[in-house]
Structures are given as C-alpha cells and as structure tokens.
Amino acid sequence: MQINPAEHTTTTRTALVVVAHPRPDSLTAHIARLAARRLTAAGYRIDLLDLHAEGFDPRMTVADLPDWGNREKTYSLEVENQMRRILAADIVVAVFPVYWVQVPAILKGWIDRVWNYGFAYGRSKPRLAGKRALWLGLAGAADDDGVVDLMRQSLSMQLDDGVAYYCGLAQSSVGLLPGAEEKPQRVDADGNLLLDETLTGAARDTHYADLEGRAIRFVDDFLAGDRVSAVAVTDRVG
C-alpha cells in the first residue's frame, strides 16, 4: 500500500469510533454514541465506523493474506479504505460486546484484515506510532462475578499487549463495563449460572446510569492522555 503522509495531515484531531454490534438500538451502540459525544466535546472530529451497518466482511481473503516478502503490497479495496481511515485518525475508540471473554468476530476480523503486516506492524518505523486506542467492552457478567477480572486481563493481553504493542501505539487501554444485562448473572464455584431478578423501574435506571457514568470516566481518563502529552511537550520546549 503506497502511503502519502500529506494526505493525512489535518489541523483537527480525528477520532475513529468503531462499533461492533449488529443492532443500532443496542446498549453497545448507545455507549458508542455517548463516547462520540464526549469526544466531540473534547474537540475531536468523529469518523463513525459501524462495522455491521457498513457491511464489513471479517473474513480474511487471499488478497489480504500478507505476502511476507512485500510490505508494499496492494490489499483489497475494502481493506485499503479502512487503512486510510485509521491513518487519518489520531485515536481509535472501539466499542463492542464481550463474547466468550473475547472481542466479537467482526471486530477480530477487522483487526486481522486491516491491522495487517506491512501496514500496522512489521516496520522499523511503525505507521501507527503515536496513535492511541481505547477499547470499551460491554459484558453481561455481574460486577461481582469472579470472571470479570479474568475477562479484563484477557482483553488487555489481546489488545494492549498484543495488537497495540506490535503496532507501536503510544497508549492502549481496555475499559471493561460488566453488568450490561438487565438480569445480572454470575457463575458459582461449581459452574452453575445464577440469575438475579430482572432490573426494573428506579433500580434499572440507577444501574444503567452508573454504567454510563463508568463509560464516560473511561473516555475522560483516556482523554487525559492528551493533556499529559501537551504538558510534556510544553515542558520540553520551555
């Protein structure tokens, strides 16, 4: 893929907000819109990438399978368009449901096909160096379910220690939001699924207001990295 850095120079910061849920009325989509509003208020231009709505195909194709002898290869048109959107973004914020302690298949396929060898990694000077990523995962497990910590560690290993590390990102963090279901669920020591009563009325409103608040705090904490970086640059200049 031939890259012209001048094509991606802009005075306005851009946030690529990636949504990985098939239903536009889902809690995942709602949290993505909430994050986008927070980013807009912080001065970012939003590039909203709804993987399902745009019909992204997560399956790796022959055209996208890395040719290890050619880092400048031309990928499929779909993937090259996605690569340009990542290059144009200063930050990437992905919002997704957690399936089986992992990202959903469509998001994993987006990473596999787009964050590809020769583009996102495999270079002495990574093209994505300096970019930052926030991964917001919504989980059905109750907040006090013992699997939550393991889920957070697993996602961090995949996304922070795996993807972000190999791509040279300046920062990558996972924000896990358990308690996404109206009927809290957990598993006991014997593997039995335990379900609480369905949340209704004021209890439901309070529960989801708290979840929204946690999502906002994840975004705000992530954005604080902008301010830290700006202060560091000012200190060096001074």
User: Taking the chain (238 residues) in consecutive chunks of 10 residues, what is each chunk's mean pLDDT?
Assistant: 51 93 97 98 97 97 86 92 97 97 97 94 89 97 89 96 94 95 80 81 90 97 73 39
Question: Is there a contact between 134 and 213 (Cβ–Cβ < 8 Å)?
Answer: no
pTM: 0.88
DSSP 8-state class, residue 44: P
Q: Looking at residue 182, what is its pLDDT?
A: 81
Q: Looking at residue 1, what is its pLDDT?
A: 58
| Rg of the chain in Å (alpha carbons) | 19
**Can you say whether the dihedral through the CA atoms of 35, 36, 41, 42 is positive or negative?**
positive
**Can you say whether the dihedral through the CA atoms of 109, 15, 158, 218 is positive or negative?**
negative
Q: Looking at residue 125, what is its pLDDT?
A: 86
Q: Looking at residue 11, what is its pLDDT?
A: 62
CB atoms under 10 Å from CB of 51, counted, come to 22
Two tokens, residue 80 = 């090259």
Classify strands 132-138 and 91-97 as parallel, antiparallel or unpaired.
parallel
CA angle 124, 128, 129 (to 5 degrees): 65
Smallest CA-to-CA distance from 137 within 83, 206, 60, 214 is with 214
Question: Is there a contact between 178 and 27 (Cβ–Cβ < 8 Å)?
Answer: no
- In degrees to the nearest 10, what's the CA dihedral of 56, 61, 131, 104? 50
Smallest CA-to-CA distance from 66 within 104, 115, 30 is with 115
Smallest CA-to-CA distance from 223 within 38, 28, 27 is with 38
Q: Looking at residue 190, what is its pLDDT?
A: 81
